[in-house]
């Protein structure tokens, strides 16, 4: 009898703790509803999901994910960015079909939903310690890609470690990052960091339709605006390009160091790390470090050099298209050749070193060709204006440009090499490849 009652006692306790675990757990179960004031917390208590009001001045309620342990309440993701709830009547429910639905119970209107389709047996929504909210089917074998929906596929202004920026050809999902309108308003602002897939894929930042900055293309170890792979203790960059997807992401080297990339409402894209000592975010690095980052500042065949007193110069063998404009620091009209090309057989290439490679939207590339094969291909096509090594880490592959070359800058020490097509008479002067 005694043994039985102990067993019974234990059973009651564990059943009770299971119940409370469910209420403060990392998981929303089928048919479960989270109301304003309730939250779920990831297993290691890194992130929390619930309702919040942004900034100081807003009463609007949003469903979001924030860092659980940071007093600053930094928000990492917002579900209903464009569609706030006016009062504390929000309700998040996981339906039996695996769709997460956010309702305003005051009006019984649907504010936001995950819009997924398909049959599910036992869907659950789980907040992971990397900040990803995933809807999975608990009764299926869940490989890492075998999810129904995840917030990482629908980022806002913050890129967390593990989040992809790119294009998944199978799901059709394109991910990019857009600023909030203001600290009080998470709806989409004008600034966007995205990947363009024309030619060799590149990362840009836009303000509306205008390109502001170009981080550029991947060179095997980094992006060409920051071409060196500088070892650091915070994060590791990765770029993947295969038949299923193209993306870049960064991973934390040490999970106890929090790191995020954020596009602020004023258009500053920065990598921030959390500093325990100051209890604040530290701007570790930013896209726009100097004047030379401004897209196409020096026009075609111009190169920006922040070590010079005037930012813009023409590449050797080129002169300003409009000297008058250059004289007043209006460089955008760029440079023209001193000797025009005529597609003659003796045309060749001049090597320029320490460069941020030009815009690759009008480019072609091959991962296997050698630099010699690259030279031959470019030489044989009159409209090919330049070539370079695709992967400088392994010294392999071929990158070819067509059209005029734009948005170059001089990067002392770390810049890349590019071979630019020149008339025969230009080549004798300095260097003949």
Ligand X SMILES: *[C@@H]1O[C@H](CO)[C@@H](O)[C@H](O)[C@H]1NC(C)=O
Q: Is 106 in the site for ligand X (CB under 6 A)?
A: yes
Using CB under 6 A, which of the segments 20-28, 58-66, 82-90, 243-251 binds ligand X? 82-90
**Cα–Cα distances in angstroms (integers) from residue 283 to residues 87, 273, 427, in the given order:** 34, 7, 45
Q: Is 431 in the site for ligand X (CB under 6 A)?
A: no
Q: Is 276 in the site for ligand X (CB under 6 A)?
A: yes
Identify residues 136-175 at the interface with ligand X (CB under 6 A): 174
**Cα–Cα distances in angstroms (integers) from residue 280 to residues 20, 70, 274, in the given order:** 33, 9, 6
Q: Is 257 in the site for ligand X (CB under 6 A)?
A: yes
Q: Which of 138, 183, 245, 347 binds ligand X (CB under 6 A)?
A: 183
Q: Is 87 in the site for ligand X (CB under 6 A)?
A: yes
Q: Is 190 in the site for ligand X (CB under 6 A)?
A: no
CB of 219 to ligand X, least distance (A): 18
Q: Considering beta carbons, is residue 87 or 329 the nearer one to ligand X?
A: 87
Using CB under 6 A, which of the segments 6-14, 15-23, 252-260, 303-311 binds ligand X? 252-260
> Is the distance from CB of 274 to CB of 258 less than 8 angstroms?
yes
Distance (Å, whole) CA 424 – CA 418: 18
> Is the distance from CB of 150 to CB of 163 less than 8 angstroms?
no
Distance (Å, whole) CA 422 – CA 341: 7
Q: Is 256 in the site for ligand X (CB under 6 A)?
A: yes
Residue from 203, 179, 202 nearest 191 by CA:
179
CB of 428 to ligand X, least distance (A): 26
Cross-sheet strand order for the sheet of 100-104: 33-35, 90-94, 100-104, 109-113
Beta strands 280-286 and 269-275 are antiparallel
| Other CB atoms within 10 Å distance of the CB of residue 46 | 18
Q: Quick one: tokens of 353?
A: 């070193």
Q: Is 254 in the site for ligand X (CB under 6 A)?
A: yes
Using CB under 6 A, which of the segments 2-10, 85-93, 290-298, 336-344 binds ligand X? 85-93
Compute the half-sphere exposure of residue 401: CA atoms within 13 Å on the CB side of its CA.
23
Q: Considering beta carbons, is residue 116 or 306 the nearer one to ligand X?
A: 116
Identify residues 361-390 at the interface with ligand X (CB under 6 A): 368, 381, 383
Using CB under 6 A, which of the segments 18-26, 156-164, 236-244, 253-261 binds ligand X? 253-261
Distance (Å, whole) CA 414 – CA 398: 19
Using CB under 6 A, which of the segments 84-92, 236-244, 290-298, 421-429 binds ligand X? 84-92
Distance (Å, whole) CA 74 – CA 46: 12
Q: Quick one: tokens of 247?
A: 């993306």
Element (H, E) at 271: strand 269-275
* Binding-residue pattern over the window 34 to 73 for ligand X, x denoting contact by CB under 6 A: ---------------------xx-----------------
CB of 408 to ligand X, least distance (A): 19
Tell me which residues touch ligand X (CB under 6 A): 30-31, 55-56, 86-87, 89, 96, 106, 174, 176, 183, 194, 254, 256-257, 276, 368, 381, 383, 402
């Amino acid at each position: 009898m005694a043994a039985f009652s102990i067993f019974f006692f234990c059973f009651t306790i564990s059943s009770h703790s299971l119940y409370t675990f469910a209420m403060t757990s990392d998981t929303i179960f089928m048919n479960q509803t989270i109301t304003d004031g309730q939250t779920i917390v990831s297993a290691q208590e890194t992130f929390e999901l619930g309702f919040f009001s942004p900034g100081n001045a807003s009463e609007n309620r949003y469903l979001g994910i924030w860092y659980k342990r940071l007093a600053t309440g930094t928000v990492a993701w917002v579900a209903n960015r464009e569609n706030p709830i006016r009062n504390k009547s929000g309700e998040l429910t996981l339906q039996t079909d695996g769709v997460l639905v956010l309702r305003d119970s005051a009006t019984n209107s649907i504010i936001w939903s995950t819009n997924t389709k398909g049959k599910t047996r036992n869907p659950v929504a789980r907040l992971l310690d990397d900040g990803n909210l995933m809807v999975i089917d608990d009764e299926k074998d869940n490989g890492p890609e075998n999810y129904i929906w995840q917030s990482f596929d629908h980022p806002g202004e913050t890129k967390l470690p593990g989040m992809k920026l790119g294009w998944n050809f199978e799901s059709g999902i394109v991910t990019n990052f857009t600023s909030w309108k203001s600290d009080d308003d998470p709806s989409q602002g004008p600034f966007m960091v995205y990947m363009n897939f024309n030619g060799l894929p590149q990362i840009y930042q836009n303000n509306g339709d205008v390109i502001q900055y170009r981080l550029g293309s991947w060179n095997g170890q980094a992006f060409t605006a920051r071409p060196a792979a500088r070892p650091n203790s915070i994060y590791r960059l990765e770029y993947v390009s295969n038949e299923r997807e193209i993306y870049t992401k960064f991973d934390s080297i040490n999970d106890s160091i929090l790191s995020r990339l954020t596009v602020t409402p004023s258009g500053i894209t920065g990598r921030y790390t959390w500093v325990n000592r100051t209890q604040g975010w530290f701007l570790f690095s930013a896209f726009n470090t100097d004047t030379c980052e401004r897209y196409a500042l020096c026009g075609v065949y111009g190169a920006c050099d922040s070590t010079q007193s005037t930012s813009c110069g023409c590449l050797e063998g080129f002169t300003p298209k409009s000297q008058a404009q250059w004289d007043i620091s209006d460089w955008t009209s760029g440079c023209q050749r001193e000797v025009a090309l005529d597609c003659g057989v003796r045309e060749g290439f001049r090597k320029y070193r320490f460069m941020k490679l030009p815009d690759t939207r009008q480019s072609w590339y091959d991962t296997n060709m050698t630099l010699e094969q690259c030279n031959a291909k470019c030489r044989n096509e009159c409209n090919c204006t330049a070539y370079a090594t695709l992967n400088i880490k392994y010294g392999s592959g071929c990158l070819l440009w067509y059209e005029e070359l734009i948005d170059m800058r001089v990067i002392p020490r770390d810049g890349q090499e590019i071979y630019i097509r020149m008339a025969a008479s230009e080549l004798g002067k300095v260097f003949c490849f």
